[in-house]
Structure 1
Amino acid sequence: MGASLPSAAALCDVLVVGAGPAALSMATALAQYQLEIILLATQDPWRPWSNTYGIWGQELDELGLGFLLAHRWRRCSSVFLDEELEHGLDYGLIDNDGLQGYWRQLCSQHGVRVHRDGAVTIRHYPHHTEVQGASGQCYRPQLVVDATGHQPAFVQRPRYPAVAQQAAYGVVGRFSTPPIRPGSFVLMDYRNHHLSPEQQQEPPTFLYAMDLGNGGYFVEETSLAACPPLPFPLLKHRLEQRLERQGCVVEQVQEVEQCLFPMNLPLPDRRQRVLGFGGAATMVHPASGYMLGSLLRRGPGLAAAIAQGLRQGLHGAALSRVAWGHLWSDDLVRRHGIYRFGLEKLMRLGSKDLQTFFHTFFQLPQPLWSGFLTNTLPLTSLTGAMVRLLATAPWTIRHHLLWPQGRELNLLLTGLLLR
């Protein structure tokens, strides 16, 4: 028999590559502008997610998406220097099945075509792009959005020698006694009395925990950021030590979560033809690790900019420039540099100084610290918050923040001057 002929190219306005929250968020946002969208995914985009996603309640409320929370806590606190600080803001846990169902309904409603295929090669032409699939199918969109995560399929970013990663080991289960106050959520508990003097000199970790109701709790030992990252066995051991000191025994393990992702990757080159979104576009908050809120906030505006560019007849590099310029405006680029500068500072602090920093940070007015953590402060407000933090911090922390080391000065200049 003769060789089979290749199938005709699949045409669309935008090809979104990926199967996770970033890809689904972008595909559904674009499809609402009556664009032809293909979602190209190597895995089933509707498979259950293994990770939990926490978010401040007001982030979803402001978007009219509060119904996507599986749990919501009004008692939210952290512990620094053995003092519990009440945050006074609701915190929520995303209903993964609900969020996937929400996006699946939008995909069906707006005609998003889902292709189970791998993206192998890409070639750019003046008016369109061609992506070759592992199946042999050719896809011909006007724009490609790479939403394949922190190691993207097509998006290019500068090489970075020292990538800091957030690592966490967590357990969902039942315990002999409540590991935290019933009905509450703990953002960061940095108490380390359960560690030996030698362990206390190692990179600090904190407890992130929540009461899931019906006797179930989620407890997670977390390293904010470290290079190299703290290994999961170490985090597991520290969690066990923490629970043992409380006299809390794990009676039933229902789920185990191991989470590892980069915090301080550089931004992609905004001149490239492929548009990134999510981890592929370095949208993780460098100083807090949050990203889902940014996807939900920034996706609709980006989709609107792309739709408008297509209506205006933009194509090729011109369309990509508009999209990148909206996703990473100069203001956002500057803020990203400041956050990376802040992360470098935090990673140099030992446990006591780090707790002193956070104790001071959460004494700022609530709109400032919450806006910092969610990346919703304009540049002027962000720099104002930094100045206010410096003015109120103890002199040891102030000295550390003002004394640039390593690549910190370049990061700060990027944030302030857009070098």
Structure 2
Amino acid sequence: MMKDVAVVGLGPAGRALASRCAAHGSSVLAVDPRPDAVWTPTYGIWADELGDLPSSVVRARAANPELRSVGVHPLDRGYLVLDNAALQAALPLDDVEVRTGRLDDAQVAALRGEARVVVDARGARPDGLRADDPAPMQTAYGIVVRTEDALPALQGAESLLMDWRTDWSADERPTATPTFLYAVPVGDDRMLLEETCLAAAPGMPVAELRGRLRRRLLARGVDARTVDDPLDREVVRIPMRGRGAPPPPGVLAVGTAGRGGHLITGYSVAHSLRRADTLAQDLAHGHAPDDADQLDATERLRQVGLRALLRLSTRGTLELFEGFGRLPAALRRGLLSRDAGTTELARAMWGMFAAMPVAAQAELVRATTGLPRARS
């Protein structure tokens, strides 16, 4: 019998959509290479983005993370690290026909013979990541350590969403692509300390990130044995433009298989969870959109932001995020949310620009318009 919806890929975007489609009465087929596997990445969302998910999906909470750049900026917004197993349990597939398999584009398109709507949720690189991928990439290398051992890295903060200070380098005024420290609790009295390159094309090598993290942490007084023999490690690679190619013919793409990722931050989970329910309702009523996430004016503004990030110097990046830290909380949300409107995002971008020194503003204009990158 023909299904209403077929979902290929059971990461956060695919599982949420399959679960919500079934909850809204659609018959659903889901296909994934390892449908019962627990997700391994560390997923974080803002506390006000949790929606109607149960509190059991929260693995750890940061009450007031900080941003540090030129100055120190409490973000006045709670941040959550998710418990992946609990999140998957909160997105049940009891009424979904689950099939084990890894499908290529042609096989995904062929599912149109089994379902009225076929959704690709296989992620940005369904054939696997390549070392020579030239696309803009967010990369990170992190270690999990005891909270007590992480305290020197935090330097008085409860947690750090972004610490852009340049002690990753031995140079007083480094000019290489900048990176930041992400430091958040992950439960069981443990902290994740992660060196992150927000965006570079091609992506910054993990070996470089590992070296920067070690240099930064030792400079702050973290014991070398803690750094070299952590409780766990994490490597992150996020293609910032998602797949960057159309889905197979006649197929709808969600999450990072489409345009569900945030072009400036790389975040995608909160939007994927929220979009799943509205899309599932549309599909249940027979309304299948041409795109799950439109290339609208707001998304084009984010494209401008990504272009600037790829071209700014180290100093320019610090001044940009110093401007972000000085924004009112509502405007910070406008920049960070994948669901912000055009006016909200534009006001946040203008507020950041207006807070920057004149020289940094000039560099940002050059970076945004695509002129050659100026090194500080």
Using the TM superposition, give the Cα deviation of residue 24 of structure 1 relative to its aligned residue in structure 2, in angstroms.
Answer: 0.4
Please point out which of 28, 48, 62 is paired with 1:58.
48
Which deviations, in whole Å up to 9, do the C-alpha atoms of 1:117-166 show, x marking residues without a partner?
23356489xxxx7439xxxxxx611111010010247xxxxxxx951100
Residue identity in the other structure for 1:55 = I
Q: Where does residue 369 of structure 2 map in the other structure?
A: 405
Helix, strand or coil at the partner of 2:7: strand
Does residue 29 (structure 1) correspond to residue 20 (structure 2)? The answer is yes
**TM-score (norm. length: structure 1):** 0.79
- In 1, the alpha carbon distance for the partners of 2:219 and 2:104 equals 51
Please point out which of 277, 282, 290 is paired with 1:324.
290
Q: Which moved more, 1:234-243 or 1:374-383?
A: 374-383
Q: Where does residue 107 of structure 1 map in the other structure?
A: 93
Q: Where does residue 203 of structure 2 map in the other structure?
A: 229
Q: Which has the larger radius of gyration?
A: 1
Please point out which of 87, 96, 99 is paired with 2:84.
96
For the structure 1 residues 31 and 281, does the alpha-carbon distance in structure 2 shift closer, same or farther, using more than 3 Å as the test? same
For the structure 1 residues 393 and 255, does the alpha-carbon distance in structure 2 shift closer, same or farther, using more than 3 Å as the test? same
CA contact (8 A) 1:189 1:208 kept: yes
Q: Where does residue 130 of structure 2 map in the other structure?
A: none
For the structure 1 residues 398 and 63, does the alpha-carbon distance in structure 2 shift closer, same or farther, using more than 3 Å as the test? farther
Helix, strand or coil at the partner of 1:30: helix
Does residue 391 (structure 1) correspond to residue 354 (structure 2)? The answer is yes
Does residue 288 (structure 1) correspond to residue 265 (structure 2)? The answer is yes
Does residue 207 (structure 1) correspond to residue 191 (structure 2)? The answer is no
- In 2, the alpha carbon distance for the partners of 1:120 and 1:211 equals 37
How many residues end up aligned between the 2 structures?
361
- In 1, the alpha carbon distance for the partners of 2:362 and 2:79 equals 33
CA contact (8 A) 2:243 2:256 kept: no
Please point out which of 269, 275, 286 is paired with 1:298.
275
Q: Counterparts in 2 of 1:307-322, with a 5 A limit?
A: 307-309=284-286, 322=288
- In 1, the alpha carbon distance for the partners of 2:176 and 2:298 equals 30
Q: Counterparts in 2 of 1:13-412, with a 5 A limit?
A: 13-43=4-34, 45-60=35-50, 62-81=51-70, 83-103=71-91, 106-108=92-94, 111-120=95-104, 122=106, 130-131=110-111, 140-152=114-126, 163-174=135-146, 176=149, 178=151, 179-180=153-154, 184-197=158-171, 200-212=174-186, 215-249=189-223, 250-251=225-226, 252-265=229-242, 269=246, 272-309=249-286, 322-325=288-291, 327-329=292-294, 333-403=296-366, 404-406=368-370
Residue identity in the other structure for 1:102 = A
Helix, strand or coil at the partner of 1:230: coil
- In 1, the alpha carbon distance for the partners of 2:347 and 2:6 equals 40
CA contact (8 A) 1:30 1:300 kept: yes
For the structure 1 residues 198 and 374, does the alpha-carbon distance in structure 2 shift closer, same or farther, using more than 3 Å as the test? same
Which deviations, in whole Å up to 9, do the C-alpha atoms of 1:37-71 show, x marking residues without a partner?
0111122x2212221001111111x4454442111
Residue identity in the other structure for 1:328 = D
- In 2, the alpha carbon distance for the partners of 1:22 and 1:208 equals 24
CA contact (8 A) 2:21 2:280 kept: yes
Q: Specify every segment of 5 or more residues in structure 1 that has no aligned partner in the other structure, as ranges.
A: 1-9, 133-138, 154-160, 310-318, 409-419
**TM-score (norm. length: structure 2):** 0.87
CA contact (8 A) 1:180 1:210 kept: no
For the structure 1 residues 400 and 271, does the alpha-carbon distance in structure 2 shift closer, same or farther, using more than 3 Å as the test? farther
CA contact (8 A) 1:79 1:188 kept: yes
For the structure 1 residues 238 and 151, does the alpha-carbon distance in structure 2 shift closer, same or farther, using more than 3 Å as the test? same
CA contact (8 A) 2:312 2:364 kept: no
Q: What is the percentage of aligned positions where both structures have the same residue?
A: 29
Residue identity in the other structure for 1:336 = E
- In 2, the alpha carbon distance for the partners of 1:112 and 1:271 equals 23
Residue identity in the other structure for 2:370 = G
Q: Specify every segment of 5 or more residues in structure 2 that has no aligned partner in the other structure, as ranges.
A: 128-132
* RMSD over aligned Cα atoms: 2.7
For the structure 1 residues 218 and 363, does the alpha-carbon distance in structure 2 shift closer, same or farther, using more than 3 Å as the test? same
Using the TM superposition, give the Cα deviation of residue 265 of structure 1 relative to its aligned residue in structure 2, in angstroms.
Answer: 4.7
